[in-house]
Amino acid sequence: MVKICGIGAGYVGGPTMAVIALKCPSIEVAVVDISHSRISAWNSNKLPIYEPGLEEVVNQCRGKNLLFSTDVEKHVYEADIIFVSVNTPTKVRGLGAGKAADLTYWESAARMIADVSKSNKIVIEKSTVPVRTAEAIEKILTHNTNSKDIKYQILSNPEFLSEGTAIQDLLNPDRVLIGGNQDPEGIEAIRKLKAIYAHWVPEDRIIATNLWSAELSKLADNAFLAQRISSINAMSALCEATGAEVSQVSLALGKNTKIGPKFLNASVGFGGSCFQKDILNLVYICESNGLTEVANYWKEVIKVNDYQKSRFVHRVVTSMFNTVSGKKIAILGFAFKKDTSDTRKTPAIDVCKGLLGDNAFLSIYDPRVTETQIQKDLSMDGVEWDHPIHLQPKSSSVVKQVNVVGDAYEATRDAHGLCILTEWDEFKTVDYERVYDNMEKPAFVFDGRNMLNVDKLREIGFIVYSIGRPLDQWLKNMKIVN
């Protein structure tokens, strides 16, 4: 029986390993993590991450060919193939701070693998890493190994799943990318990994490349997707200034088969653990290679994203008579997108901090994010558009200005305005007449996800701002725009 060990039981490692176990009943999959609380959650009825369909997959395989453990060394020792899905955050201090990837977790995983291994291993990079990381990992493994007879093959097999649709993405991937050395041992390692995916992925979707192409493709993939969002968000600002409608522009663009329809939704800004981190990483690699123009090109994608968030805050404040001080504002949605409890780099953090900076009182509701997480997110780092990252002391007054509540009606009661920051489906079915009746007047809606029916809201009496659409007539007549 082939044995697989997955190091890192997070958003990537957990679902990926669970789907491999589901599709390969003849393979024993052990998922290990240094975090005891994460592993005990994976072994409980309340999984540590929310992901549609994940619970069903875990319930089918756990106790059969899927196990979760903190005994990292034992399972690494026993495995033939090791997937490494540890976190690679942006470095916060030292060389490359604010841009380069922090490979501390990766390096310590590699040193541990070298320490405990007594047989040949295929080591797979799952988490996104800078180009040529495989080379560094290979050095760590071969220079720390117990015996010259142990051979390591490093493969790059980046994960392309999106949170919220992870299980579907894993079951039916557009493509599986496997990068490896182009010598006979490397090609054999690629073949072994291909054989695992071939249990459920059609062969023509499994692409083999050299190591560096696979590593770079992952960074490029996220940079291109983020660039599309920043491009449409930049257009949304122009739409608001000219009377064009961004949704109509998106539709027209998407019908061009050269462009395609996906990732063209204007929004309050992109978030998530990958886009900003990977672009900063790309920028750092470009700068390190003397490619200043290329670095500057990609930096603009982040700058436009920061601009979109600050523009949203500016719009809220200017619309509400240039001050939100002492006003209650309801925030509907805090996660970085719907169907996830993840708040990493969510635009909601920067928008809320911007409003708190103007002394607003926030009443926040998100169907999946806990109060502890929201308070933690809002009392840490400085706002994102203040690059480079700097730390602010925790402020107890910020905590007092923030109230986390259990539903949309409670959040909006007596509020002057409401902001939609995540496109949760349930916000479409809220009774906005009831919401309107219980809000202060004039009642403002700021739809950061363009998900609500603007005309209906205006009929009810709301003053509405949505991204990239003509502004409410009332605001225009009052000449308080800009």
- Give yes or no for a contact between 102 and 75, defined as CB atoms under 8 angstroms apart: no
**Interaction of residue 13 with ligand ADP, rule CB under 6 A:** yes
By CB under 6 A, name the one of 4, 12, 20, 362 that touches ligand ADP. Answer: 12
270 contact, one of ligand ADP, ligand UDX, none, CB 5-8 Å limit per kind: ligand UDX
162 contact, one of ligand ADP, ligand UDX, none, CB 5-8 Å limit per kind: ligand UDX
In the residue annotation, 274 being an active-site residue is answered as yes
Token pair 């670095």 in the structure block, residue: 295
Residue 373: how many other CB atoms lie within 10 Å: 17
Residue 344 marked ligand-binding: yes
CA contacts within 13 A on the Cβ side of 38: 19
CA gap 444, 451 in Å, rounded: 15
Task: State which H helix or E strand residue 250 sits in.
Answer: helix 246-255
Total residue length of the chain: 482
Q: Among residue numbers 87 through 106, which ones bind ligand ADP (CB under 6 A)? A: 87, 105
**Interaction of residue 43 with ligand ADP, rule CB under 6 A:** no
Q: Which is nearer to ligand UDX, 215 or 358 (CB)?
A: 215
Q: Which is nearer to ligand UDX, 179 or 186 (CB)?
A: 179
By CB under 6 A, name the one of 61, 178, 229, 362 that touches ligand UDX. Answer: 229
Q: How many residues bind ligand UDX (CB under 6 A)?
A: 19
Residue 93 marked ligand-binding: no
Q: Among residue numbers 122 through 141, which ones bind ligand ADP (CB under 6 A)? A: 127
**Interaction of residue 70 with ligand ADP, rule CB under 6 A:** no
**Interaction of residue 163 with ligand UDX, rule CB under 6 A:** yes
Which residue from 63, 67, 62 is spatially nearest to 78, judged by alpha carbons? 67
Burial zone of 421 (CB within 10 Å; 0-12 exposed, 13-18 middle, 19+ buried): buried
**155 backbone dihedrals φ, ψ, rounded to 5°:** -120, 150
CA gap 70, 331 in Å, rounded: 38
Six-digit token string for 143:
């220079």
CA separation, residue 179 to residues 35, 157, 172, 214 (Å)? 29, 6, 20, 5
Q: Which is nearer to ligand UDX, 306 or 358 (CB)?
A: 306
Residue in 5, 61, 274, 286 annotated catalytic: 274
160 contact, one of ligand ADP, ligand UDX, none, CB 5-8 Å limit per kind: ligand UDX
**Interaction of residue 222 with ligand UDX, rule CB under 6 A:** yes
Which residue from 130, 311, 143, 157 is spatially nearest to 238, judged by alpha carbons? 311
72 contact, one of ligand ADP, ligand UDX, none, CB 5-8 Å limit per kind: ligand ADP
DSSP per residue, 30-89: EEE-S-HHHHHHHTSSS-SS--TTHHHHHHHHBTTTEEEES-HHHHHHH-SEEEE----P
Q: Which is nearer to ligand ADP, 312 or 334 (CB)?
A: 334
Residue 163 marked ligand-binding: yes
Q: Give me the least distance between CB of 150 and ligand ADP, in Å please.
A: 19
Q: Give me the least distance between CB of 351 and ligand UDX, in Å please.
A: 12
- Provide CB contacts within 8 A for 65, sequence distance 6+: 21, 24, 25, 26, 27, 28, 29
**Interaction of residue 265 with ligand UDX, rule CB under 6 A:** yes
Question: What is the amino acid identity at position 68?
Answer: F
Residue 274 marked ligand-binding: yes
b/e map 237-261, b = 16+ CB within 10 Å: bebbeeeebbbebbeebbeeeeeee
**Interaction of residue 337 with ligand UDX, rule CB under 6 A:** yes
By CB under 6 A, name the one of 42, 106, 152, 270 that touches ligand UDX. Answer: 270
CA 41-46-47 angle, to 5 degrees, is 60
Q: Among residue numbers 143 through 162, which ones bind ligand UDX (CB under 6 A)? A: 159-162
Residues that bind ligand ADP (CB under 6 A): 7-13, 32-35, 38, 72, 85-87, 105, 108-109, 127, 273
Which residues have a catalytic role annotated? 274
Question: Which residues line the annotated binding site?
Answer: 8-13, 33, 38, 86-90, 127-128, 163, 274-277, 344
Residues that bind ligand UDX (CB under 6 A): 159-163, 222, 225, 229, 263-265, 267, 270-272, 274-275, 336-337
